[in-house]
Amino acid sequence: MYRVILFCVAFGLAWSSCGTLSAGSISGIITLVDVEGQTFSVEASASKKDKITFDFTADQKTAITLDGKAAKLADLQVGQRVTVNSTTERATRISARRVKNAAPEEPNRLENSSKANVGWHQYGGPNRDNVSTETGLLKTWPAGGPELKWTITGIGEGYSAVSLSGNQLLTMGNKGDEEHTICLDAETGKKLWSTPTGKAYRENMGNGPRATPTIDGDKVYVLGGNGDLACLDLASGKKLWGGNILKEFNANNITWGISESVLIDGPNLVCTPGGKGAAMVSLDKTNGKLKWKATVPGDPQTGYSSILPIEFGGLRIYVNFVHTGVIAVDAKTGKLLWGNSSPANGTANCSSPVAAGDSVFAASGYGTGGTLIKMSGSKNKITAEEVYSTKEMKNHHGGMVVVDGYLYGADEAILKCIELKTGQVQWQDRSVGKGAIVYADGQLILRSEQGPVALCKASPAGYEETGRFEPSRSDKPAWPHPVVANGCLYLRDMDQLLCYKLK
């Protein structure tokens, strides 16, 4: 089995404590650039087996090029391909190149600027994997939890989480007969603007939009519970264009409402209507015009999850969990590459898939569990083989996260750590209950749908809790996923949003 390989490389680059450095070259995809911290991360090709970390040392110089021209660390961006040449002591050259149809560059970069997008411009974080790029966070919480920075109400009913860009925070909520997209000042919680973007969605499990806004540069894209899609100006909230994906692609709404947070990938807006011959579609993000439709046998309805973009075999691939199973399509053409029905249940597939190198893991609740799928081949022909299925991760809608080869998530009401490559349970804990998870700075934050929020170490050695508190609650389940960005923890709960200091 393949393990994710992570390199933290910068000017200088001396060998650090994880793995063994050997002379030669390593190639992969840049997944994070942190100019302020003087690091960037690379997910290497599946043929490599070591995990190596490089640390910055000012007295050593490393040549950096981008598309063959001299460059700086600030020129490197998420999605670019990179080759790192090294001796046994240090990296000597970093050669990066731009990739067509790569992920949006600016929102994924970390820059030494108060106006930079600090790592959470979309559902699931910078890479849609429930991983925060924040560092220097509290390792333990005081009794009663971290300090409450602000609370705001009046944002309307809804299960939308939040996304951030600089000092702007975005979420969605029902107001009267309309769904609104709402922009707040991330520092104070003060409302900056509110724009109606669709008809109010109502359902007895909880009213309001389910999706989270996606920020791309100076635009924001939203998808409502009734399938209403809109592009807004981030600064003013002015609606630039819109439509309805269910009407446009001859699809029916699902039982508990459209819940997908759209993906912006370079010039493309990608979503999963679940219509006839349109299981997934790619649109021009500037005007909503169709680029391609993905046809899946049986024309399955959409699920409740959001697309995960990955790179494998020289291809960019979009993976999502539809009603009948996991599907993977070619990001350039929409061609179906593979599918797997094992982790699907007949009621609702909610949690988005997670990926590590050549493998994808997807899981659902209702007694079903999860499946690890391993890809092989190249862009000429990619195949997918089921490695195992397990009842030990019946993840309903709280999401999962992979850290150093281990999968963490709620198996119904039990928090579990599972070795990804084997499916073997490393530990489990029942004290918090069923909830949503996020990883940040070596820690896991689990938000129970019944209220408690817990902090524990992300380690396969065992469950070690380092903080817990009870936030203010509504009378509905706390389903919106927690967000860690700007040194804060953001918790949405229907009409209220709470911001806690984590530094």
Which of 40, 70, 99 corresponds to the end of one domain?
99
Helix (H) or strand (E) holding 247: helix 245-248
Q: Is residue 463 part of a domain?
A: yes
pLDDT at 207: 96
For residue 466, what is the domain's CATH number?
2.130.10.10
Q: Is residue 335 part of a domain?
A: yes
Q: How many CA atoms lie within 13 Å of 254's alpha carbon, on the beta-carbon side?
A: 26
Q: Name the residue among 125, 146, 124, 150 with its Cα closest to residue 137.
A: 146
Q: Is residue 110 part of a domain?
A: no
189 with 312, same domain: the answer is yes
Q: Is residue 197 part of a domain?
A: yes
**Which of 80-89, 190-199, 215-224, 363-372 comes out lowest in average pLDDT?**
80-89
41 with 171, same domain: the answer is no
Q: Is residue 396 part of a domain?
A: yes
Q: Is residue 32 part of a domain?
A: yes
35 with 171, same domain: the answer is no
310 with 231, same domain: the answer is yes
Backbone angles phi, psi at 403, to 5 degrees: -130, 120
Q: Is residue 379 part of a domain?
A: yes
Which of 99, 125, 160 corresponds to the end of one domain?
99
Could you tell me if residue 192 is left (phi over 0), alpha (psi between -120 and 50 degrees) or otherwise beta?
A: alpha
88 with 162, same domain: the answer is no
190 with 89, same domain: the answer is no
How many structural domains comprise the chain? 2
pLDDT tens column, 292-330: 999 999 999 999 999 999 999 999 999 999 999 999 999
Beta strands in 101-238 (DSSP E): 109-110, 148-153, 163-165, 168-175, 178-185, 191-199, 214-216, 219-223, 228-233
Whether the Cβ atoms of residue 481 and residue 436 lie closer than 8 Å to each other: yes
Query: Whole-number mean pLDDT of the chain?
Result: 86
pLDDT at 83: 74
Q: Is the pLDDT of residue 50 over 60?
A: no
Q: Is the pLDDT of residue 118 over 60?
A: no
78 with 186, same domain: the answer is no
pLDDT at 3: 28
pLDDT at 106: 32
197 with 63, same domain: the answer is no
Residues spanned by the domain of 390: 148-501
| Amino acid, res. 431 | S
423 with 310, same domain: the answer is yes
59 with 162, same domain: the answer is no
Question: Rounded to whole angstroms, how far apart are CA atoms 307 and 211?
Answer: 12
pLDDT at 38: 62
39 with 163, same domain: the answer is no
Q: DSSP letters along 434-477, please?
A: SEEEEEETTEEEEEETTS-EEEEE--TT---EEEEE-----SS-
pLDDT at 500: 98
342 with 461, same domain: the answer is yes
Q: Is residue 305 part of a domain?
A: yes
